[in-house]
Structure 1
Amino acid sequence: MALLRNGAYRIIDANLNRAREGLRVVEEIARFDLEDSPLASHLKSLRHEIATILKEVPGEALLAARDSSCDIGKSSHYDKHQDGKELSEILKASMVRTQEAMRVLEEFSRMIDFPAGKKFKDIRFRLYAIEKEITEKLNLSVRRQVVRNWKLYLILDKELIGNKNPLKVAAAATMGGVSAVQLRCKDITDKNAFLLVSRLRQFAPLQKVAIIVNDRLDVAVMTEADGVHLGQDDLPIKETRKLLGKKRIIGISTHNQKEAIEAEKEGADYVSVGPIFPTGTKKDAGSPVGVNKIAELKKALRVPLIAIGGINETNIKEVVSAGADVVAVAAVIIKAKDITEATKNLISRAGFPDDAKN
């Protein structure tokens, strides 16, 4: 019986350490990657709660039972293929490790008549809720970083393209440095929109480019596009997310700070603001908001900010200097005689941060 109790103490000791280590990894993700102070504090309090429970166990019994040098698990094969894991995989592994440790602690605390089983069970179920919360926040963080890396965003407006081949226009812009293309086709049938987006998705020169569909969520879902861009009168962001999934991007047009802040709260991956300057591309664009609006919104938001409307080689640097994360353009590229060179010229004049240039 003494041997059994000693084994139980050894298991409890190992799993207390395992739980605290796993929680610390998750806490660091919340603190340094997500920069989510409330969540990091919550995780820290859980670690302290476990430490408090630990004080109820005779410390000398745990230490006496510990035998790390003879632990057969220490020689487990190190899988080098696990190196280079994504942050989401590290998060998942650490959460599972901690949850499993809580389950083991719940069971083996009974063997030593340690009345903490219910506490460990309670922590385990709280961890399930935390895992869902932090996973959703991490997914959002990853999607927003993808957007920040775009820098130059082409609005492939079907009316502007005219008789040009949209695939060739997009490919030429991509060669110049565009890394995201939004298809705006208000006046074509659903079938033709589906076929056009499908061709864009399958076109070899565009395989590394994000393809975003304006308004038409059904087309975005069916073609497995990289995301959808919504207007203020389109479907709500939360409902759109249910249909689009966790990996793909949702952007939304905004016209003022109130709309932008609301979009951020709803989980938008980016907000666009404009027109920054006078534009003839979009008939219902409204009055120019100016570059000061970019600076104003940048102070109020954490979500990536995309500036759009009337932007060209003469004013793009002003837009970037004001704080725009990404610049969206249409006519200045689509109407250019040499689309690739026009795109390169825009990027060279923009003054994007060196570490984020395409």
Structure 2
Amino acid sequence: MKRFDLSLYLVLDPDLCAGIGMVETARLAAAGGATMVQLRDKHAGTARMIETGQALKQVLDGTGALLIVNDDVEAAIAIGADGLHIGQDDMDARDARQMIGPGMILGLSVETAQLAGAVDPDIVDYTGVGPVFATPTKADHKQPIGFDGLARLVQSSPVPSVAIGGLKAEHVAGVFAAGAEGLAVVSAICGVPDPEAATRRIEAEIRKVRP
């Protein structure tokens, strides 16, 4: 049984984090209570992903925050990451599972109730559901689904869901009320003056509503 906590899921963005870098942002976020950290860098090749991922693994070691790699299976395996996250257009979930083996966490992005319902719980461990709101950090995102759409998708998913898309501390109650197990944030932590304080603010909201 894989153990993971989706409640405060940071997705790193190299552009937003440019001021202090992704590794330092992750270190501060983990100190503030982030439970998962995803390395997402669409412009980096595998070698750079591995280099950044190894540095992230080092700073997250002992914090309890798990490291997830976006898209790059080769990098996830080389880093010894806790998990891999893929989108609908990246690769087939079954192929990804075969490559990473049974022990690694596998997350899959879903944008419709149909896609959520089609998830195989023997292959996928959690779904990334959204976008809840429009977000500038992902230019090609699908139509925002709002909290009602989030609730529908969460209900359709046979595995735990993390909400994503324009989410900030003030959205925590809505996310959990919709049935998601957590929220994935980018700009709410990346690129803010004090990532640790920003993470703590979100974590405090989660503590209020999480059973």
Instruction: Please tell me the TM-score bracket, short chain as reference.
Output: over 0.9
Aligned pairs (5 A) from 1:161-200: 161-200=17-56
| One-letter amino acid of the counterpart of residue 190, structure 2 | I
Does the 8 Å contact 2:28/2:195 carry over to 1? yes
- CA-CA distance at 1:298 after TM superposition: 2.9
Does the 8 Å contact 1:151/1:352 carry over to 2? no
> Quick one: distance in 1 between partners of 2:184 and 2:60?
23
> Quick one: distance in 2 between partners of 1:237 and 1:286?
20
Match in the other structure for 1:226: 82
Tell whether 2:170 aligns with 1:338: no
Unmatched 5+ stretches in structure 2: none
Task: Check 1:161–1:210 CA distance in 2 against 1; reply closer, same or farther (3 A cut).
Answer: same
Does the 8 Å contact 1:274/1:308 carry over to 2? yes
Q: Matched residue pairs, number?
A: 210
The answer to which structure has the higher helix fraction is 1
Tell whether 2:149 aligns with 1:293: yes
Tell whether 2:174 aligns with 1:318: yes
| One-letter amino acid of the counterpart of residue 277, structure 1 | F
> Quick one: distance in 2 between partners of 1:340 and 1:174?
8
> Quick one: distance in 1 between partners of 2:209 and 2:73?
31
RMSD: 1.7
Give secondary structure in 1 for the equivalent of 2:188.
helix
> Quick one: distance in 2 between partners of 1:274 and 1:204?
26
Does the 8 Å contact 1:201/1:207 carry over to 2? no
Match in the other structure for 2:104: 248
- CA-CA distance at 1:297 after TM superposition: 2.3
Does the 8 Å contact 1:170/1:206 carry over to 2? no
Aligned pairs (5 A) from 1:252-271: 252-265=108-121, 267-271=123-127
Does the 8 Å contact 1:238/1:266 carry over to 2? no
Tell whether 2:57 aligns with 1:201: yes
Match in the other structure for 1:154: 10
Match in the other structure for 2:210: 353
Does the 8 Å contact 1:200/1:206 carry over to 2? no
Give secondary structure in 1 for the equivalent of 2:189.
helix
- CA-CA distance at 1:346 after TM superposition: 1.0
- Match of residue 305, structure 1, among 161, 167, 174: 161
| One-letter amino acid of the counterpart of residue 210, structure 2 | P
| One-letter amino acid of the counterpart of residue 285, structure 1 | H
Instruction: Give the TM-score normalised by the residue count of structure 1.
Output: 0.56
User: Which protein has the larger Cα radius of gyration, Structure 1 or Structure 2?
Assistant: 1
> Quick one: distance in 2 between partners of 1:235 and 1:282?
19
Higher relative contact order (CA 8 A, sep 6+): 2
Does the 8 Å contact 2:46/2:74 carry over to 1? no
| One-letter amino acid of the counterpart of residue 331, structure 1 | S
- CA-CA distance at 1:159 after TM superposition: 2.0
Give secondary structure in 2 for the equivalent of 1:314.
helix
Does the 8 Å contact 1:159/1:185 carry over to 2? no
- CA-CA distance at 1:255 after TM superposition: 0.7
Unmatched 5+ stretches in structure 1: 1-141
Give secondary structure in 1 for the equivalent of 2:144.
coil
After superposition, the C-alpha distances for 1:60-85 in whole angstroms (9 at most, x for unaligned) are xxxxxxxxxxxxxxxxxxxxxxxxxx
After superposition, the C-alpha distances for 1:157-188 in whole angstroms (9 at most, x for unaligned) are 11221232221110110111101100001102
Give secondary structure in 2 for the equivalent of 1:307.
strand
The answer to which structure has the higher strand fraction is 2
Does the 8 Å contact 2:37/2:66 carry over to 1? yes
> Quick one: distance in 2 between partners of 1:206 and 1:231?
29
Does the 8 Å contact 2:117/2:158 carry over to 1? no
After superposition, the C-alpha distances for 1:99-124 in whole angstroms (9 at most, x for unaligned) are xxxxxxxxxxxxxxxxxxxxxxxxxx
